[in-house]
Structure 1
């Protein structure tokens, strides 16, 4: 076990864009008065991702960070590591909404799972994907038997012999009759791609907001015209929802159809989009300018919340 001495430790802590002042002040008090950290840096996760991107691509001037996480999807343009506040967008669609919607569909069609959030979240991560041709996949999902190439059977955990659910291999699926074993099976067809489709078309379930492609175009169009080509060429995906198979390809295709035809579009999916901002924070902590960016406990004790407002460009 490893113990950290807070009084000798510098902390980098993330917060949402446009956070409330009252929450920021409470956070300052917790960090410096309750835990008494030596120094602290309060920053947006997207800024850490942008720092990571510019560190790996020093020749680039601009990037657009798309962070699709548990509660929200944020789109934030950065120029030379500085965020452009006027271009930041938020969509109220994230992994939590997708999991809850999948719970409702399964509970309505097959089995009551409204209390099984953790299990259904795992089902979502194991079997869902982003369709490249939604209506074509919908037609396939309506076919019977082996012709339905979308259909998958998911074995639910019983937490004794089966600790974690898993997707049955296609060749082991039974299309007529029932399985001989006592396994509890979920049969999933159009749910596999209809649930992640909400990231692209939230209006499908009555959420009157833009999908991610439209929000990206809206964000880029709010930037100066000479910068827009740079943003289209440097779109960085972070957050767990970007791990759905086909997400990057679909987003790039949708952006290609929405953006000016003469501009190239490039979407980057990092190897580990969930930890991308954390890795950016790690890089930032080794930056020669890091000590100039933080607020020390002595600074805070002398100047209070004012010094944090001045230093943290949130």
Structure 2
């Protein structure tokens, strides 16, 4: 196969995975017109259409899907072998891509990774804040971070934190207007600050527990967000009640700017875990990052 085909296939794989010329161009640092030209040239050489394009979407054809499913893993094996050879040098190098929610990046990952970077100038870390349950293999991330019960069974998991206590919180100003809830029935009458789930598009049902029984509270309220920081800020501003990790709101409870309620209804979530695919050759760069972020408690 011509050497140019390999480079062009890599471009095709980026577009096919992103389902978007715009996102693929941004990821590759190329223009959309350059990507379109490369894909058209590849299709001409192969004699088949690889992508179906509409005004709203891009998707692989049957031939494109075959290329995506059968050729991409082989190229990834080559990339892994090249990384392993590079690791035989004196200095660990390469890029480690991580996906996690923004609060976890701020509270857990970055404080542990930042001291590592000055020690290894050839190590690069790319962190994406994402609330979706990302397929890290399909989207070419090296590490995902989620609560322990969300980690797929075929992944290697490394604990990052102890179990995470959750809290239902509201501001003193809010409780000056509304009674403190003591039961599920009380809670459902309150103005609750909701989280829109990125994966399903639905509203997150608060995962509570009382007297050993797991319960889902399908709360509603005036404010809906897609990440936890504005939820915390809305609670601090007296808008309503929020259900958030203790690591995000605990200090506000301790300084009195938030009040914790229904503590006996709030479970501790399984600790955060880093997870990654089982690979024959894991890079030294990946190993360094995993060792830096693992739970030391």
Counting strand residues as a fraction of each chain, which structure ranks higher?
2
Q: TM-score, normalised by structure 2?
A: 0.24
Counting helix residues as a fraction of each chain, which structure ranks higher?
1
